[in-house]
Structure 1
Amino acid sequence: MDQKTFSILLEKYLRGNISQDEVNSLLNSLDDDAMRQQWEQAIAGMLTSQSKPRSVKLYAVAATLLALLVTGIFFFTNNSHPAQKLQATTPTHTITPGSNKATLTLADGSQISLDSASNGAIAHQGNVQVIKLNNGQLAYKADATATNELHYNSLVTPRGGQFMIILPDGSKVWLNAATTLRYPTAFRGKSREVQLRGEAYFEIAPNAQMPFTVKVNNMEVKVLGTHFNIMGYPDENSIQTTLLEGTVQVRHNAASIRLNPGQQAFLQGENMTVKKDIDVDEIVAWKHGYFHFNHESLPGVMRQISRWYDVEVIYEANIPEREFGGKIERNSSLNDVLKILELSNVHYKIKERKIIITS
């Protein structure tokens, strides 16, 4: 592809009338070092013709435009490192993104793989029927005869999986990758309580007589009816509860915080603080099919990638000091995501299901 063709396709992209085949042509040209240089030269010409300030770092802008072409909506921030020659990386195979899959563990210890189970009733727990509604959704339906017998189920999404469940009270929970939710098959008494490990988005059915409580590690989130997201992965250094609608009470030991929409309870170690004016779209982007980063470090980016693509990340050298921002569709192939990382001078190699960061 010559510079004239590239410029034409870039203009078509910016107008929003580029075809998928043309996007693929632009994406495939990233594999060639000489073509990458032509891309930068073409973008440089565009910037010059548009009288951009000289203070703008061409490489950062070029990386932004190239990333936009690859993903449609992704960009990087990299203000502390000069441009270097990009090295093409040829993966030995394609690693696909995650999908709707999970394992349901019943009260008797038996397990059901939900990604392979047929739709319809898949189990009975006492007087409660477990139903797979469709690919990626699970629900509970009580029989007409009520009993006091209580059973607990666990829904587990693997690395590279996600799933949605409608709890017995009608509350909806979306589970991100590598997440476990333990819950009763029926809520009785004066409270509704579940236990979480990982990340989930909750839409709680209102019930003033039965407050809903989520326990994650040593944090407790209590609500009546509201929408919120909890992130509490073991490999993250904090537990974050972000409120979208309603109110929640977050407790940790003797500390208690009441959140309003747009606020986040941030627990790091034994210190719990409130963050205000949170970008909630960033927090729940995973639920809507995106990665969304905002001044995120490379390890933070790679932890999310590792969980969603079920890969191991290894650092051969010192971890590059980079910050990333923007968003990318989670249905992108791993190879496409890593090509964008490389545009910010993050070099890697792939060996089976391992991503090795080399510089």
Structure 2
Amino acid sequence: MNEERFKTLFEQYLNDSILSDELLELQEAIQDERYEALLDDLLKNAFKESAFADVNEEARQTVFSAIKSRISHQEDAGQKNKGNKRLIPYRWLSGVAALVFVALGTGWFFVRNHHSRQKENTYAHIIKPGVNKATLTLANGKKIVLTDDLHGQLASEAGVKISKTKQGEIIYTVAADGGSDERSLQYNTLTTKKSEQFQVILPDGSHVWLDAVSSLKYPLTFKGNERKVELTGQGYFEVSHNATMPFIVKTTKTEVQVLGTHFNISAYDDDQIDKTTLLEGSVRVRSNGVTALLMPGDQAISDKRGHLTVTKIDVDQEIAWKNGLFDFRRAGIEEIMIKASRWYDINVKYEGKIPDTKLIGKVSRNVDISGLLEILQFEGIKLRVEGKNVIVTN
């Protein structure tokens, strides 16, 4: 076998397109020391994907060993499916997104190559990922459903033009003449449901991204000594600097005050905590009379009793949703399924004891839910799909 043949077989293995006799051929080559360096190079190439950027060398080596072992000990496909393609137990995610997934305690890693073909969905009901969509409620009560297809001027209120760009942003253009008092007393609310996300450029130029099941209430224009908005759910903020007019985000548990900075707030009503994560600048977080000043890399957590704590974290994990990823770090099944339910608009039910499996991994939010569920099943999580209901069982 030459190196080109080895590369072809390895690519077919990643793509779930390898035949039983080809798998045997690859297994034999894996045992040959002449191909050891080539295999390492091929695996390293898989880690050039952006989703693998923060995987350390120790983890890479563990992945290499796991894949080598998995190929070497792969069950002979020819015994059961002679001459046919088979889905090997590696359970590659459908879709085109790169992925690393680690199940703690088992040592198995999932590595997805972006060239892989999309395999047939194994679920009767294909549950698609979320889309750019939201509902804008104007001050007069009128509701406008925003989608990617809708762009141009949406409305005009109190001298403020509201428009949507082809890039999917709502923009407020404030008239230069009069009406400022009236505008500051009129509010718009941007709301996303399950399986929706959207973004808005506020009248002061601040940029806000809204995750699924979230809402942002804000005035048509900011007037006075502060810029105050109200948030439920999750939002990422890039606030325009204004030293004379602090920007304030109010949630049910906290109040975050900034001058100009980048930060993320997660404040879902059904979560036990609010999380404020700072990427750039500085913010002041206030909860139940307690105040904390955050520096980049800090996260403030406010619980339902009003306790406020600050820790250093990996900020990339907190804004992974904005960048199109689920990023799990020792996540339990309940945490994973809560996020999945918001993004895929599913109902999650549990029968019996909830599994205590902890998982680490990155999954693209652009793939059908089948990919995520297949990984969970491979890790021993029993579940079934009935329409838009996902039932986790013992």
**Under a length normalisation based on structure 2, what TM-score does the superposition of the two structures give?**
0.74
Partner Cα separation in structure 2 for residue 41 and residue 261 of structure 1? 40
Verify the 8 A CA contact 2:94 2:368 in the aligned structure 1: no
| Preserved contact between residue 262 and residue 277 of structure 1 (Cα < 8 Å) | yes
The structure with more radius of gyration: 2
Q: Distance in 2 between matches of 1:93 and 1:181?
A: 32
Q: 2:165 is aligned with what amino acid? A: L
Question: For residue 217 of structure 1, what is the aligned residue in structure 2?
Answer: 252
Change (3 A) 1:283 1:41: closer
Q: C-alpha displacement at 1:67, in angstroms?
A: 5.4
Could you tell me which residue of structure 2 aligns to residue 186 of structure 1?
Answer: 221
SS at match of 1:287: coil
C-alpha distance in 1, partners of 2:67/2:100? Answer: 17
SS in structure 1 opposite 2:330?
strand
CA distance in 2, matches of 1:316, 1:81: 27
Residues 1:43 and 2:78 aligned together: no
- CA deviations 1:246-303 (Å, max 9, x no partner) are 1100001211111111011111122434343210010000000000010111100100
Deviation at 1:6, TM superposition (A): 6.9
Deviation string 1:137-164 (CA, Å, 9 cap, x unpaired) is 1110012323121210000011001001
The amino acid that maps onto 2:136 is L
| 2:137 corresponds to which of 100, 105, 118 | 105
1:282 equivalent among 288, 294, 317: 317
2:178 corresponds to 1:149 = no
Name the counterpart of 2:151. 119
Range 330-339 or range 5-14, more displaced: 5-14
Return the letter of the residue paired with 2:135: T
Which residue in the other structure is 1:248 paired with?
A: 283
Q: 1:81 to 1:319 in 2, by over 3 A?
A: farther
Partner of 2:377: 342
Aligned residue among 136, 150, 158 for 2:193: 158
In structure 1, what is the Cα distance between the partners aligned to 2:25 and 2:223? 66
Q: Which residue of 1 aligns with 2:357?
A: 322
Equivalent position of 1:74 in the other structure: 100
- 2:262 corresponds, among 203, 207, 227, to 227
The amino acid that maps onto 1:264 is Q
- Alignment identity in percent? 38
Report if aligned partners of 1:78, 1:344 keep a CA contact under 8 Å in 2.
no
328, 337, 345: which one aligns with 1:293: 328
Supply the AA of the counterpart residue of 1:259: L
SS of the aligned residue for 1:338 comes to: helix
Specify the alignment match of 1:167 in structure 2: 202
In structure 1, stretches of 5+ residues that fail to align are 18-38, 48-61, 83-88
The AA in structure 2 aligned to 1:298 is I
Amino acid at match of 2:350: Y
Range with greater deviation from structure 2 (157-166 or 262-271): 262-271
Tell me which amino acid in the other structure corresponds to 1:133.
T
Distance 1:219 1:356, change over 3 A: same
* In 2, Cα distance between equivalents of 1:316 and 1:90: 22
Q: 1:253 to 1:45 in 2, by over 3 A?
A: same
Residues 192 and 321 of structure 1, relative CA distance in 2, 3 Å threshold: same
Aligned partner of residue 326 in structure 2, secondary structure: strand
1:32-58 CA-partner distances (Å, limit 9, x unpaired):
xxxxxxx999616279xxxxxxxxxxx
Code of the residue aligned with 2:158 in structure 1: it is G
Deviations 1:103-122 (A, max 9, x none): 00000111000116631111
Q: Which letter does structure 2 place at the counterpart of 1:282?
A: Q
Extract unaligned runs of 5+ from structure 2. Answer: 1-18, 31-37, 47-65, 75-87, 109-120
Match of 1:55 in 2: none
Structure 2 CA distance for partners of 1:73 and 1:275, relative to 1, 3 Å: farther
From the superposition, tell whether residues 99 and 5 of structure 1 become closer, same or farther in structure 2 (CA, over 3 Å): farther
Query: Secondary structure in 1 aligned to 2:321?
Result: helix
The alpha-carbon distance between structure 1 residues 319 and 80, as it changes in their structure 2 partners (threshold 3 A), is farther
Residues 1:265 and 2:292 aligned together: no
Determine if contact 2:240/2:261 at 8 Å carries over to the other structure.
yes
Distance 1:154 1:315 in 2: 34
Deviation by residue 1:173-231 (Cα, 9 ceiling, x = unmatched)? 00000100000010001100000000000000000100000001031000000100000
Distance in 2 between the 1:108 and 1:312 partners?
A: 34
1:207 to 215, 223, 242: 242
1:265–1:272 CA contact under 8 A, matched in 2: no
Task: Please give the alpha-carbon distance, in whole angstroms, between the structure 2 residues aligned to 1:232 and 1:327.
Answer: 22
Question: Is the Cα contact below 8 Å between 1:164 and 1:173 reproduced in 2?
Answer: yes
SS at match of 2:322: helix
Consecutive aligned runs of 4 or more in structure 1 exceeding 4 Å deviation: 5-13, 39-42, 65-71
- Aligned with 2:208: secondary structure? strand
CA 1:67–1:111: 2 relative to 1, 3 Å: same
User: In 2, distance between residues paired with 1:234 and 1:6?
Assistant: 52
Stretch of structure 1 that moved more, 67-76 or 255-264: 67-76
**Could you state the TM-score of these two structures normalised by the residue count of structure 1?**
0.81
Structure-2 change in CA distance of 1:145 and 1:5 (3 Å)? farther
